[in-house]
Structure 1
């Protein structure tokens, strides 16, 4: 092991030492308190009590987001080099159950309803985990962590601020690790700086200025091909970015004069809809905005240089690939991260995540929770690093203790898809490490430096989150789940149909919310807030 690697596994080493101590202690004391399962007398002093899970196969299944990133010659999400590596290194017979990323919760719900859900079900969304709790799909895991875990148990003791996020009704229902800065930052905005420069435009800072810039991108042929074929604004997070800049995203509760109110019922949400509609009516948005379910249209327009503003994510993953393809296709394209613009309500940042990362839960019907804990402890100790960075000498080399990509194309093909197999990761990062981690070719370095700027731009603009996490109450979850489809339908109708106003849309949303039990949900949300607010930082 190279000395520089030590700083990357500083959290894992204490866990390993703890394991050695624990094993040493077990060899001396044993377990003398329990009777054997076959009705015989208590085990002799010093004998280790048999664990019922030790006789079971070490089979564990886990859900996985299918993002379409596994090439055919790599295999599938179920079977590839990394799944094989996991089985060999962890000693666990892992089965992967992929679900499409943009339909993950719907597909998981189908698997649950048909009793085909995997042992480990994970999501980024705490609200969804709360739904699984209230439905009785998943089980508390306090006992499993206490009895079988070494690494994760120690990590949770060292990071007690994570406990409220994974606890429901006083019990722990998930395992998680802290988000890094690159995963706290989520949505972001990119703009063609070369288009701004060519048209002599200033960077927009208000919503009105943003609309004016988009109009200029539409009318003034910024790509210089003599055709009116540019699309000013694209983006697979477009609606979320707009509503975040108005401080009213669809999923969240807000404190209005000390009262808990649901985001889509607020005046601010109505104004966000009105802004989307105005942009659409002016021809500033792609007409396929609501039918581009797999984001292929957004990717096509951006990477071929036909779009001027992308409301997507701050960088990494899909966006990094999109930006790379754009700059490969058009080496003269200049990109810049764009700060969120202000509205009449002030300036709010784009969506950012809470401190807890992936929530890994245990299906109540799983056969071997001990094997699941052993697998997740292995991920914490060793697995996460290789699943994120690949193989040393093949995909990276260590530079000042930081894994530096040696071949971006090889990494993209062979490693990029593997990161989410490492569902727990005690990684600590700094924005200035990006150029060191990236491949050293000029294009990779250019993208890395752009992403440093983008990450800093996103993080300096605070996303409006009035409460640290959302209430988990059955009636509230049911009301929100029931109205979700209506919100999407009304938003699409508002934006695309000329005779349907944002004012009417907000009125209809409020009526539907009331019909679905919104008044009761608000009462329960208020009670929840009063009960829990002393725990909020």
Structure 2
């Protein structure tokens, strides 16, 4: 849920997102007592012929069952509301005749949602009408392999509206992870294009204090990091700062606190399948260029440019080095000013930051992960559901009404007044509930905007809309459409400017070319091989193994299943391309 929560925090209704640690377990809502136990009892009987959906609404209300994982820090509703009874659920029931019931709800601490979902799958427990999942490919495969969910190709052809269909057509590779024997086994949840691509965020006040310009190359970045470590950039008279906030507990190519840019500057990208000059796919972690990047990373560790605890930090914990005022650079998406940077401004009043392009290597190479199909989750439809088309009617409604609302329409200002927007006395809009609490009665500090609770996570996103809007606004143009005005009024200038940096540098993105299911050998060997890679990388960085142990690791990786996986991946690619 990380991407949506960027918007969540921009709207000033929360101070942490799904990946954030330190949540309150007492926020977990109780499972619904009225939820049905399975999909067979989930929907009312509908008139034959039209499935009962007439003029945009089910003539006889139906029920969709599901399961859900609430972000631990946003499992807080407006006073008097809950996951099953809130302004969004009431609107959907009124407008569409669809009531969503939850068989169970967990607060998603330590991947609790994934864990409980996988326990259901492992035990063969009957699944609800729809299951929504955003995360690892292994769980996606488990959902497909359970045999409980239906192909969705015909449903899309028959029921999806044109906006959704056009989004799906932007990149046919969007279907590859969920295609089995030619069948499309889940509905992709569309995301904004480039929304996960990285920029280099730098503490601008630190740069000014040490008298340096933003780095354009790795060599210049090293000079900046050295000044951030040794030049007292925070002016407190102590040597208590580091250059780069990073955490590679989960690998070396992450959604935030990323170190992949350093590998990209050497010509590879770890943790994914890259396209080589001869048209073959290669695992980026075993490319010889990765060895050079590891040598540089060890040098940075030795010089104190990165934290000695980096291998213990995941993305969120690593980001706290930046938000606590300890580090001066962090790599991550355009929306970090929405989260987690408000923590920096709370912890270090007066701190400033700015987005810059990803720096180039000494030979001019630049590389950053990204450029993949605009999807960030999947909707699985139970093959026994009485109304398999209902989730498409549901998704269509958001595309038609909230994704890019028309001027003067009901949702032109936002979803619901007093929830995600309010009108000031002068007629202008605000989303700042903290500043104007009287305009947002019943909201608590971490109450999420209504669209957060939709089964499609953010309501609906039109892939091209976000980047196009931010590039326009960053260029100084006035907002014209309701969507442009919403973005202009709820995003910081730093956020908007960062998206333009991403788009201007979009050609550096190193795409992961393997978008298929886990191969036969991956299913049995992936865990072992990933452990081998990550442990060797970390030990090299910490000086626990010599640099040449990289070559031994590559040999072992190939012999332990990596060579066969490479063969399987390339066989898939030849068919897929």
TM category (shorter chain) comes to 0.7 to 0.9
1:223 alignment partner, one of 209, 234, 244: 234
Q: Following superposition of structure 1 onto structure 2, how do residues 58-457 of structure 1 map, counting pairs within 5 Å?
A: 58-64=63-69, 66=71, 68-71=73-76, 78=83, 81=86, 84-85=89-90, 88-89=93-94, 90=96, 91-95=98-102, 97-98=105-106, 100=108, 103=111, 108-115=117-124, 119-123=130-134, 129=140, 132-133=143-144, 136=147, 138-146=149-157, 149-151=159-161, 155-156=164-165, 159-167=168-176, 168=179, 169-176=181-188, 178-181=190-193, 183=195, 185-235=196-246, 236-246=256-266, 247-293=268-314, 295-296=316-317, 298-299=319-320, 301-316=321-336, 319-344=337-362, 346-362=364-380, 364=382, 367-368=385-386, 369-382=388-401, 389-392=414-417, 395-396=420-421, 405-407=430-432, 409=434, 413-416=446-449, 418-419=451-452, 421=454, 422-423=456-457, 425-427=460-462, 428-429=465-466, 430-431=469-470, 432-433=472-473, 436-437=485-486, 448-457=492-501
- Please state how far the C-alpha of 1:508 moved relative to its aligned partner: 1.3
1:40 match: none
Change (3 A) 1:101 1:529: farther
Q: How many residues align?
A: 471
Query: What secondary structure sits across from 1:524 in the alignment?
Result: helix
Q: How far apart are the structure 2 equivalents of 1:459 and 1:221? A: 34
Trace 1:34-49 onto structure 2 (pairs within 5 A): 48-49=48-49
Give the drift of 1:222: 1.0
The answer to whether the Cα contact below 8 Å between 2:206 and 2:228 also exists between their aligned partners in 1 is: yes
CA distance in 2, matches of 1:63, 1:327: 32
> 1:57-77, CA deviations, whole angstroms, 9 ceiling, x for partnerless residues?
623215446263334766999
Tell me the secondary structure at the aligned position of residue 310 of structure 1.
strand
C-alpha deviation, 1:225, in angstroms = 0.8
**Structure with the higher helix share, 1 or 2:** 1
Distance 1:156 1:125 in 2: 25
> CA contact under 8 A between 2:84 and 2:100: conserved in structure 1?
no
Alpha-carbon distance between aligned partners in 1 of 2:497 and 2:163, rounded to the nearest angstrom: 35
SS in 2 for 1:191: strand
Deviations 1:167-206 (A, max 9, x none): 52322222235532462x4333211122122212232222
Output the CA distance in 2 between the equivalents of 1:387 and 1:502. 57
Task: Report which stretch shifted further, 343-352 or 407-416.
Answer: 407-416
Q: CA deviation at 1:154?
A: 6.7
Contact (CA 8 Å) 2:132, 2:380: kept in 1 or not?
yes
The residue number in structure 2 matching 1:14 is none
CA RMSD of aligned residues (A): 4.1
Note if contact 2:294-2:540 (Cα within 8 Å) is conserved in structure 1: yes
Question: 329-338 vs 196-205, which deviates more?
Answer: 329-338
TM-score of the superposed pair, with normalisation by structure 2: 0.69
Q: Which of 1 and 2 has greater Rg?
A: 1
Shift of residue 425 of structure 1?
1.5
Q: Normalization by structure 1: what TM-score?
A: 0.73
Q: CA deviation at 1:331?
A: 4.3
| C-alpha separation in 2, matches of 1:439 and 1:56 | 38
Distance change in 2, residues 1:475/1:99 (3 Å):
farther
Structure 2 unaligned spans of 5+: 1-46, 247-255, 405-410, 435-439, 480-484
Matches of 1:467 and 1:182 in 2, distance apart? 14
Q: Report what 2:569 is aligned to.
A: 525
Please, which runs of 5 or more residues in structure 1 have no aligned partner? Answer: 1-46
Cα deviation, 1:49-92, whole Å, max 9, x if unaligned, reads 59699999623215446263334766999557356446634422
